[in-house]
């Protein structure tokens, strides 16, 4: 029996779970901590929660972006850490926080091995038509391509469906970050996020897909530099930017303002458009699974998506829980 401490660091929170892993992971205890910079406090909270439970034998981390050299889950060593440092350029919202968490875990549990579970791994085998971005070849050689994200969530959906998984499946992971993935025969063939987790669906604070000319215009006419554009794309846009209120779906649902309503309708339309794009990549679809915090819990969003995709013949729409942490536990147990 392997005991795994799974750490799922997202853009807005840290989820942790202690799993006993035999033939299947069994959650012993878990919780969520709102993201903060004090990683020592993270582990104070976690250690308090783990009191009386078995000591972990391995720690597994969700890593959003491993860069061009890491496309398979692996044990963390100095070489992996160097690649994760370099990969921060691709995921500035997530990379530095993950590195800090790994270092904090090593300081607290120096004798326990750590495993990196990459959100990009599920999308590694995408065909060239999906992974290649329409830019000069010289930049493609430096690792500028479509990577895809929320791979652990997609893995968990494919696993839950088991024999019920259709040949043509679309998975919409809808949360603070959101993406839509086309899955054929259990493998990713296309996905809405690209080089970074900022593209695709309009999100809580991220633009999603946007005319690149908008950024050129703001740089040229409004004088925004690279840092200002990065803040705009990742922190000041999406539903928060449109509503001028919040990117939190729960806040927007109760706000009652025209701008909040517009932000919600834009998000719902954005999801439907990306689902339609994935249906085109698959040549049709048999099932759409909604997952993630919004996909699982916000009924008006799921209703709007059902209405927006009513034109798709024979589309079975289901809601399933994202089980990223259990996937981390499975991979970490194998690699311990």
CA distance 328 to 3: 12
Distance CA 273, CA 172 (A): 11
Q: Is 119 a catalytic residue?
A: yes
Terminal CA-to-CA distance of the chain, rounded, Å?
11
Q: How many C-beta atoms surround the C-beta of residue 284 within 10 A?
A: 12
Rounded (10°) CA dihedral 69, 70, 71, 74: 150
> What gap in Å lies between CA 330 and CA 212, rounded to an integer?
39
The token duo for 167 is 């040949």
Query: What is the C-alpha R_g of the chain?
Result: 20
CB 212: neighbour CB atoms within 10 A?
8
CA distance 207 to 7: 27
A 10 A CB-CB count for 269 gives 14
Instruction: Select which of 37, 44, 119, 225 is catalytic.
Output: 119
- Measure the CA–CA gap between 290 and 310, rounded to whole angstroms: 15
Residues taking part in catalysis: 119
């Amino acid at each position: 029996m392997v005991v795994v401490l799974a750490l799922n660091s997202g853009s807005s929170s840290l989820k942790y779970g202690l799993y006993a892993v035999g033939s299947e992971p069994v959650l012993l205890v878990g919780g969520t901590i709102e993201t903060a910079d004090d990683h020592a406090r993270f582990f104070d909270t976690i250690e308090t929660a783990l009191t009386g439970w078995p000591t972990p034998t391995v720690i597994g981390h969700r890593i959003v972006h491993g860069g061009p050299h890491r496309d398979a889950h692996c044990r963390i060593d100095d070489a992996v850490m160097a690649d994760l440092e370099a990969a921060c350029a691709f995921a500035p919202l997530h990379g530095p926080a993950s590195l800090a968490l790994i270092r904090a875990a090593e300081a607290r549990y120096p004798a326990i091995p750590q495993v990196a579970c990459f959100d990009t791994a599920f999308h590694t085998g995408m065909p060239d038509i999906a992974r290649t971005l329409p830019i000069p070849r010289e930049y493609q050689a430096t690792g500028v391509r479509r990577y895809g994200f929320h791979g652990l969530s997609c893995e968990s959906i494919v696993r839950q469906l088991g024999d019920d998984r259709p040949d043509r499946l679309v998975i919409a992971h809808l949360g603070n970050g959101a993406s839509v993935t086309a899955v054929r025969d259990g493998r990713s063939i296309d996905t809405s996020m690209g080089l970074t987790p900022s593209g695709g669906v309009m999100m809580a604070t991220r633009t999603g897909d946007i005319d690149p000319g908008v950024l050129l215009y703001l740089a040229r006419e409004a004088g925004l530099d690279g840092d200002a554009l990065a803040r705009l794309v990742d922190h000041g846009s999406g539903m928060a930017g449109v509503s001028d209120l919040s990117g939190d779906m729960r806040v927007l649902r109760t706000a009652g303002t025209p701008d909040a309503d517009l932000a919600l309708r834009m998000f719902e339309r954005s999801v439907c458009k990306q689902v339609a794009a994935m249906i085109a990549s698959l040549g049709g679809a048999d099932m759409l699974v909604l997952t993630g915090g919004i996909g699982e819990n916000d009924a008006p969003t799921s209703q709007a998506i059902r209405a927006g995709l009513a034109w798709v013949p024979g589309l079975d729409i289901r809601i399933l829980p994202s089980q990223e942490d259990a996937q981390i536990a499975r991979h970490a147990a194998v690699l311990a």
